[in-house]
C-alpha cells in the first residue's frame, strides 16, 4: 500500500508496469481530452482510491493529452507540484499507446466523460466503469460503477463514490485527495457559488472536515489565478489549453466540431497578435489544423461584478454553419458583436462570426447538446 499519490505513481512506474506481458490486461482510468483540472483530478483520485481498496488490481491514471501540453495547464502543474508530484511521474497519451503494444488488452474506467473519444477507441477493449456529469450517451450500460449525474464538478461524484475508502485511509492521503477534489469543485463552481448541485454540497461537508486548516477563499483565488495565467502563451497554445472535439451524425451526414474554452475576452486574445488580421488568420489556421467543420472559441471571464461570455465561430461550410448558429441563438441569447474587430472578416466562403452570449449559465457542457440538436434538425431539413 502507498501513503501518498506520489508514492502510488512511483509504484506504477517502477513496479507494476514493468511486469506487463503480452497476456496482461492493462487497467486504466482517463478523463476527457480537454484534460482540465477536474478531469485530471478525477483521473488521479479514482486510480489512487481504487488502489487503496484493491491493491492487487491497480488502475493506471492516464492524462488524456500529449505530455508536451501539460505546461499549458498551469493550475494542474502547480497543484500537483505542491504534492511533490512532478511531470515525470505522470502518464500521458504517448505512454498509453506504448503500453497498449506491450499487453493483451485494455480495460478502461472513464471519468468526466461517458463515451470513448475517437482518438482513443482503438486503444480500449472494454469500458468497465464510468463516473461523469455530462449528457448521458447511453453507452456501456454494463459498466460498474456507472454514475452519470448532473453536478457542478465531476470530482464531487468521484469523491463521494470513494468516500468511505478515503475516510478510512491515513490522514495524509485523505488530505491529498480532498485538497485536489475540492480544488476542482472550487474552479467548476466558482467557490460553490454557481451550478452547485447536491453531490457538490455532500462532498463539501467532508472537504471542510478533512481540510479544516485550509482557507477555502484563498485556495480558490490561488487556483483561479493559476488557471487564468496565460502570459507568454501563443494563441495556438491558448486554443490547446482546454479543447474538445465532438462528432455529430445524422443518417449519412456528419459534422466535426472543435471547441476551445478560454478564460479571457476575444478583445484580449486579438491583442496577443500584431494585428486583427493576424488573429483572424490564426483562428482559420487552428480550424484547418484540427480539420474540423466548426471551430468554436468560447470565452468566459469576470468583468468586475459581472460574469461574461462570448462565442466565436469559424467554419468553411458557411451556409450550414449559419443555420446551426441561428437555431441555438435564442437559447444562448446570442447578440452579434459587430463592434469587435475580430468579427469583421470577409473571407469568401468562410463563416466567421463573434457573438456576445447573454445566457452566461451555458458553458461548453450545455452548448454541445444544443449544437448537436441544431445539426440534427438542420440535417433533417427542419
Mean pLDDT of 305-320: 93
pLDDT at 313: 96
142 SS3 class: coil
The three cell numbers of residue 168 are 478510512
Separation of alpha carbons 49 and 94, rounded Å: 24
pLDDT class of 71 with cuts at 50, 70, 90: very high
The predicted structure's pLDDT at residue 118: 86
* Residue ranges covered by each domain of the chain: 5-227, 235-379
Q: 19-23, 100-104, 223-227, 342-346: which has the highest mean pLDDT?
A: 223-227
Instruction: Give me the mean pLDDT over the 355-374 stretch.
Output: 95
In the predicted model, what is the mean pLDDT of residues 271-280?
86
**Beta-bridge partner residues of 248:** 255
Q: Where are the alpha helices (DSSP H) in the chain?
A: 5-14, 37-53, 74-82, 93-102, 118-121, 154-161, 163-168, 171-189, 198-210, 216-228, 235-241, 266-271, 276-290, 318-332, 364-379
- Architecture category of domain 235-379 in CATH: Roll (3.10)
What topology is assigned to 5-227 in CATH? Answer: inorganic pyrophosphatase (n-terminal core) (3.90.1640)
- pLDDT for position 290: 95
Does the pLDDT value for residue 82 go beyond 60?
A: yes
Q: Is the model's pLDDT at 22 over the cut of 80?
A: yes
Residues 318-344: tens digit of each pLDDT: 889 999 999 999 999 999 876 455 554
Fold match between 5-227 and 235-379?
no
Average pLDDT over residues 133-137: 95
The overall average pLDDT reported for the chain is 93
What is the 8-class DSSP label of residue 280?
H
Amino acid 291: pLDDT:
96
pLDDT at 277: 83
Q: For residue 159, what pLDDT is reported?
A: 98
CA dihedral 66, 115, 263, 40 (to 10 degrees): -50
Tell me the pairing of strands 351-357 and 60-63: unpaired
Other C-beta atoms within 10 Å of 234: how many? 12
| Res. 346 pLDDT band, cuts 50 70 90 | low
In this prediction, residue 173 carries a pLDDT of 84
Give the per-residue pLDDT at 170. Answer: 80
Strands 351-357, 306-315: pairing is: antiparallel
Judged against a pLDDT cut of 90, whether residue 10 lies above it is answered with: yes
CB neighbours of 210 closer than 8 A, spacing ≥ 6?
171, 174, 175, 178
How much is the average pLDDT of 163-190?
92
Distance CA 268, CA 308 (A): 13
pLDDT band at residue 306 using 50, 70 and 90 as cut-offs: very high
User: pTM value?
Assistant: 0.92
Categorize the per-residue pLDDT at 255 as very low, low, confident or very high, splitting at 50, 70 and 90.
Answer: very high
Amino acid at each position: 500500500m502507498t501513503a501518498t499519490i506520489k508514492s502510488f505513481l512511483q509504484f506504477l512506474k517502477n513496479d507494476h508496469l514493468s511486469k506487463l506481458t503480452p497476456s496482461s490486461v492493462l487497467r486504466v482510468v482517463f478523463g476527457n481530452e480537454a484534460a482540465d483540472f477536474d478531469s485530471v483530478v478525477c483521473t488521479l483520485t479514482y486510480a489512487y482510491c481504487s488502489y487503496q481498496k484493491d491493491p492487487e488490481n491497480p488502475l493506471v491514471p492516464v492524462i488524456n493529452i500529449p505530455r508536451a501540453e501539460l505546461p499549458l495547464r498551469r493550475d494542474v502543474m502547480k497543484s500537483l507540484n505542491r504534492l511533490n508530484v512532478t511531470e515525470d511521474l505522470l502518464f500521458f497519451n504517448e505512454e498509453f499507446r506504448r503500453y497498449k503494444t506491450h499487453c493483451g488488452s485494455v480495460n478502461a474506467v472513464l471519468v468526466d466523460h461517458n463515451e470513448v473519444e475517437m482518438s482513443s477507441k482503438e486503444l480500449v477493449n472494454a469500458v468497465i466503469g464510468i463516473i461523469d456529469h455530462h449528457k448521458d450517451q447511453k453507452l456501456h450500460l454494463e459498466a460498474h460503477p456507472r454514475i452519470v449525474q448532473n453536478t457542478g464538478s465531476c470530482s464531487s461524484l468521484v469523491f463521494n463514490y470513494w468516500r468511505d475508502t478515503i475516510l478510512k485511509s491515513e490522514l495524509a492521503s485523505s488530505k491529498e485527495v480532498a485538497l485536489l477534489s475540492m480544488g476542482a469543485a472550487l474552479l467548476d463552481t466558482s467557490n460553490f457559488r454557481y451550478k452547485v448541485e447536491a453531490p457538490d454540497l455532500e462532498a463539501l461537508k467532508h472537504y471542510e472536515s478533512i481540510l479544516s486548516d485550509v482557507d477555502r477563499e484563498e485556495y480558490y483565488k490561488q487556483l483561479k489565478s493559476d488557471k487564468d495565467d496565460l502570459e507568454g502563451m501563443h494563441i495556438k497554445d491558448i486554443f490547446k489549453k482546454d479543447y474538445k472535439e465532438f462528432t455529430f451524425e445524422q443518417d449519412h451526414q456528419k459534422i466535426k466540431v472543435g471547441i476551445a474554452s478560454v478564460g479571457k475576452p476575444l478583445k484580449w486574445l486579438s491583442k496577443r497578435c500584431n494585428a486583427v488580421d493576424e488573429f483572424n488568420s490564426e483562428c482559420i489556421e487552428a480550424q484547418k489544423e484540427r480539420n474540423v467543420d466548426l471551430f468554436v472559441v468560447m470565452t468566459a471571464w469576470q468583468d468586475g461584478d459581472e460574469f461574461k461570455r462570448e462565442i466565436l465561430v469559424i467554419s468553411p461550410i458557411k451556409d450550414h454553419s449559419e443555420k446551426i448558429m441561428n437555431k441555438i441563438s435564442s437559447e444562448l441569447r446570442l447578440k452579434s458583436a459587430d463592434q469587435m474587430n475580430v468579427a469583421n472578416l470577409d473571407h469568401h466562403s468562410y463563416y466567421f462570426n463573434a457573438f456576445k452570449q447573454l445566457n452566461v449559465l451555458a458553458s461548453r457542457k450545455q452548448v454541445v447538446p444544443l449544437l448537436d440538436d441544431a445539426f440534427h434538425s438542420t440535417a433533417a431539413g427542419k
